[in-house]
Structure formats: C-alpha cells, structure tokens
Amino acid sequence: MMSGEAFYVWDLAGEQVAPKYEDLLPAFRRALAREDVPPMDKMLVLARLLPQVVRDNPDIDTDVADFFGRVESWALSNYYGALRLELPADPFWIAKRILVKVASEVGVVLFDDLQGVFFLPDGRILPEAQGKKWQGAIHYLEGQHDFPTTVPQFKKLAFPLLEAILIRRGYVVDEVLQRENGGYNFSRQVECGVQMVGFKFERSYQGFTIPLSIQMSVDVVNDILSKFSFSNYDYLYIFELYDSFKEKLGDALYVSDVESLNELLSAIESYVLSIHESTKNIMGLNDLVEGRLGETLSRRILGVWTAPKALITLRLAGNKDFDRFAIEIPSNVRVWGRIGKAQGLAEWPKLVEYLKTHFDDDGKPIEQSGT
C-alpha cells in the first residue's frame, strides 16, 4: 500500500535559483511543466543507487526494497522535468530517510509534496523554519524513543507536521483567532473571503487525536445577515472533524503510532482541507450547501444557525432551486443559535423577501442589473 505522500525529484542544473523557498517553488513548477524530457542522468543515478542501499542492508523491509527496485523503471519512462515518487505506507519513514540521504549524495532536489518541504543537495531544508521543526519530528520518529504518552509530547511531534501542510496550502497563523478561541488557528484569504482552520490536541482511550474544524467568513454574506435579527456569527461553521467525518475516517481519527499519525494527517489533507479547496468562491459554497461536497456537510449547515447564511449563499450564486430551499430549510433547522426557534422562524420570511427583492435570479444586485 502506498502512503499518499509524494516526493518529486529533479535536477536544478540550468536553473538560477536563490536559496529561498519562494524562488524554489517556481523552479519546481517549471520542472513539472516540462514535457518530453529524456531521462536525466542524475535521476537514473539515484534510481540505480537505491537498490544498492538495499543490497548493502539486507534487513531493510521488503516493501521498501520493492519500492526502490521499481524507481529505475519509473525514471526511464518519465517524460517530465520532475520525477514523482509515492512512498510506501509502511514503513514510511525508513523509505523517506534513505531517499533523502541518497538524493543529497547524487545532487538532486527533493520536494515533499505533503509537507511542503524542499531538501537541497547541500543539506539545507526549506522553508527553514518549518524545515527545522519537520526535521526534528523526523529525527524523533527515527530515534529509539517510545511513541508519545502525554498530550504535550504528542503535540510536539504532530504540530510541525500539520503546520507544514497548512503553510503549503497558503494558511498563516491567525493570532487574533488564537487569542479569542484558544487552541491553534490558521487562516487564508480566498476569492470570496477568509477560510479558517482551528485545531487542538487531545487523548482518549482510543489514542491521540486532533479535533479540527474549518470555517468560512464571507463579507457580503455577513453584511446581508447583519440587517436581520438572526444570531450574527461572522463565519460559516462548516464542520467538526469528529462529527462529520467520524464514520468515513473510522480508526484514522485516532493515533497510537507513527503509521496512524501519518494516516490521520493524510486524512486531514485529503478529506478535510479539500473542502476548503472546493469553496474558494460563492459557487463553491453553493455546491457545499446543495450537498455536492457531501450530504452530511449540507445537512449540518442547513440544520443549525448557519441556515440563514446558507440561504444567502444560494441566492448570491443564482441557485435555480432557491424558492424550494427557502420553503424547506426552516422546518429542518434544529438550533437557531442565541435567538431561539420562534424568533428564527419570524425573521426567515423577511430574509427571503429581502433576497428576492434585492438580488435577481442570477444573484446579481437588482439595483445594478436595471431590472
């Protein structure tokens, strides 16, 4: 089984790259974009040295040995400027350590796609701040330490790995949210507003875990909602990792060893953060509300105090089923927030009327459309 974490290998020969993370990214993209590139000498050297490591270390796991044995055929059939290698899931860290060491000896650059980290031939890891944390976690995992037994130990191990995933996707630490909500909070600007990720570290009888939630804040939606007496939270609470994905992730929610930690981090990136990737604009949020990104997520948004925000989103997106949603949603709302059910039901028709008189069927402001 493969891990889902890919390393990209390429030779920087001919690239004038300064030793900065932001300079390496465009070089990496150029390498990926080049097609019909003959197998590069250094990639072939790397591919042929990896099996030699196995021959010199007969105790290496068979999955790692099989993986290294296939690299040469992948390199020979690669027609791009970078070679993609997806590491085996188990034992993941052994394969990673060997690949990084041999790549440095050969003089090629490695880019860890999941962690967003570059390994340079001179031994540097970029971005430097995340690289140091990430390298420390790898050294911890490769040492003779027992797996963490306390939450602070687990946090020290897992935080830099999750932080690297978020930074690679463009999130930055949100100090305001962290002061207000506690825990760890990151945010990023997108087309329609701000996306937020909050998480903490916990332990249960099943193992360690990382309760995580994602939200959206859209100014135009907030402005419309402020005209009414609904509970005026300034964000759209999309989901809590436990509630919405517990059934889908199953045992991947809980961590007891290195392999299960990697599984949880992969699940967060593949299942959780992908929701943010699909909701960078109003049309993406419309898909979320309609259930195209998951019926569980849609039911959650339409069943609680976020329902008015969801209805506003549908109108702004020009949803053709707006009238049906306007009728059906109120009967399904279980929690109206601080205002209570009676006030929520009383405000709802006012919101519907406002949206129909101020925005046309395509979601455009009527004052600007001339209709």
Reported as a single tens digit per residue, the pLDDT across 7-46 is 899 888 766 666 678 888 888 888 888 887 777 888 899 9
Round to whole Å and give the CA distance between 60 and 72.
Answer: 18
Higher-pLDDT residue of 280 and 54 is 280
Q: Check if the beta carbon of residue 196 is closer than 8 Å to that of residue 187.
A: yes
> What is the 8-class DSSP label of residue 87?
E
The predicted pLDDT at position 322 comes to 96
The predicted pLDDT at position 3 comes to 46
Q: Check if the beta carbon of residue 75 is closer than 8 Å to that of residue 83.
A: yes
Which of the four pLDDT bands, split at 50, 70 and 90, describes residue 284? very high
Q: What is the mean pLDDT of residues 255-284?
A: 86
Q: What is the mean pLDDT of residues 343-367?
A: 93
What percentage of the chain exceeds 90 in pLDDT?
25
> Which residue in this structure is represented by tokens 């509630």?
243
Report the range of poorest mean pLDDT among 262-271, 285-294, 318-327: 262-271
3-state helix, strand, coil in the chain (%, to 5): 55, 15, 30
- Backbone φ and ψ for 161, nearest 5 degrees, come out as -70, -45
- Please tell me whether the overall predicted TM-score, pTM, comes out greater than 0.85 for this model: no
What digits encode the pLDDT tens for the residues 145-191? 678 888 888 998 899 888 888 887 889 988 766 666 668 899 999 99
Judged against a pLDDT cut of 90, whether residue 349 lies above it is answered with: yes
Q: What is the mean pLDDT of residues 239-251?
A: 58
SS3 7: strand
The predicted pLDDT at position 371 comes to 45
What digits encode the pLDDT tens for the residues 50-71? 988 888 887 777 888 888 899 9
> Which residue in this structure is represented by tokens 């909500």?
181
Mean of the per-residue pLDDT values of the chain? 82
Q: What would the DSSP string read from start to end of 223-282? A: HHHTTS-S---SSEEEEEHHHHHHHHHGGGG-BSSHHHHHHHHHHIIIIIHHHHHT-SSH
The predicted pLDDT at position 316 comes to 96
What digits encode the pLDDT tens for the residues 92-120? 667 888 888 899 899 999 988 766 788 88
